[in-house]
Amino acid sequence: MFQRMYMMLTFFTIWLLYVNLKIYMNQFTIDKKTKMELVVVTILGFLTQYNFCFYALFLAITMICLAMKRKEKTFVKSYIWQYVKAAIIGIILFVPSIYHIFFSYRGAGRTARNFTMIESLIAFCENILIAYSLPLVVGIVLTIILLILFIWKFWKSKSKGIYTILILPTVFTFFMMVAMSPYKSLRYIMFLLPMMSLSVMVLLDEVIRRPKVSVTILTVLAIALSGYGIFTQPIHYMYIGYQKYVDIAEKYKEDRFVLVMPTVFSQIQDIPEMKLYKETLMMAPERLEELKDFSEWDAEEEVILGIKNWIEMPEEDVLEKVMEYTGFSNAELLHTSQKSARLTLYRLYK
């Protein structure tokens, strides 16, 4: 589910970049068709994921600065108006977006994190290396080489505008994600990876100046890195070890299942085991006291408790509260995992 949303975000981000590059290559002329395309892609990106707004903002600022440098004041007014129209339509279509963007824990209001900016920066840089299947040392050396080449080519290139459009919005958005993302996960910067790749492609093409050679080098490099990643990187996003949880659910399918987790949609990944238990009750950590209102516990000899390992409340506190509110006095650890399932199971009994 996460990956589908972020892939759509990536698609609309690339489309927005394409439209803006087309405007730049046409000397800041924007016809009716391009205006419509700009409005449509902005609305669709906005409705897909709010991080799109940050990239769109930085890209728009970059385009406006480049246009003002050429004194294209008429274009700037028209260009800004397209974004204003897109924002108005987007907000009308999804009014709660205002809260999500400016006040939610995933938007501009996301300040409560248990890690520092430096830790976040290091983690996201590591995520980029993971995304490109690059070993740490190779990644650092390659980054230094690319930075030197970018500075050199930017200084000498006649296409400074292309580099500016590709790099500046990407860099600023990256640091925005570092500062604001609630988790140190690759998905928050996934939509920036194509821009990084495009920047390297443009650089390589300018350095070699032979398109066929550039394509060959990039193709070989992509195959080599992909192969290296397949054989050396651990599997991500495949819900490793979930079969164990399904086996436990099959064994205790006559029991009720209590799943403690805070979010309203992540339970989708637990549906296979939920369908096996007699009944499933999902409770947010802050609402555990409501368990006292269920009379079913009196008739049960045992119940299975699942606690997501990533919730903020300590697992011991959750276990203690659940046992207190349900009347079960004993707990047996059935299974736990820090891999992608990240769920601890207990059998509570009297």
Confidence (pLDDT) at 104: 67
Quote the percentage of the chain above a pLDDT of 70: 91
Rounded Cα–Cα distance for residues 310 and 260 (Å): 11
The three-point CA angle 348-349-350 to 5° equals: 140
CA nearest to 109, candidates 181, 185, 183: 181
Q: 161 and 137 in one domain?
A: yes
Residue 237 included in any domain: no
Confidence (pLDDT) at 146: 86
Q: 261 and 136 in one domain?
A: no
Q: 203 and 109 in one domain?
A: yes
Question: Average of pLDDT values for 313-318?
Answer: 91
- Verdict on whether the full-model pTM lies above 0.75: yes
pLDDT tens per residue, range 192-216: 999 999 988 888 888 888 888 888 9
CA nearest to 79, candidates 91, 90, 66: 66
Rounded Cα–Cα distance for residues 274 and 74 (Å): 59
Confidence (pLDDT) at 264: 61
Does residue 294 have a pLDDT over 90?
A: no
End residue of a domain, out of 232, 262, 297? 232
Rounded Cα–Cα distance for residues 144 and 122 (Å): 16
Question: Average of pLDDT values for 155-170?
Answer: 86
Q: 295 and 272 in one domain?
A: yes
Residue type, 244: K
Q: 287 and 154 in one domain?
A: no
Residue 42 included in any domain: yes
Q: 254 and 175 in one domain?
A: no
The count of structural domains within the chain is: 2
Confidence (pLDDT) at 326: 93
* Residue 313: domain span: 242-349
End residue of a domain, out of 176, 201, 232? 232
Confidence (pLDDT) at 220: 92
**Phi (first) and psi of residue 308, to 5 degrees:** -65, 130
Question: Average of pLDDT values for 22-35?
Answer: 94
Does residue 107 have a pLDDT over 90?
A: no
Quote the percentage of the chain above a pLDDT of 90: 47
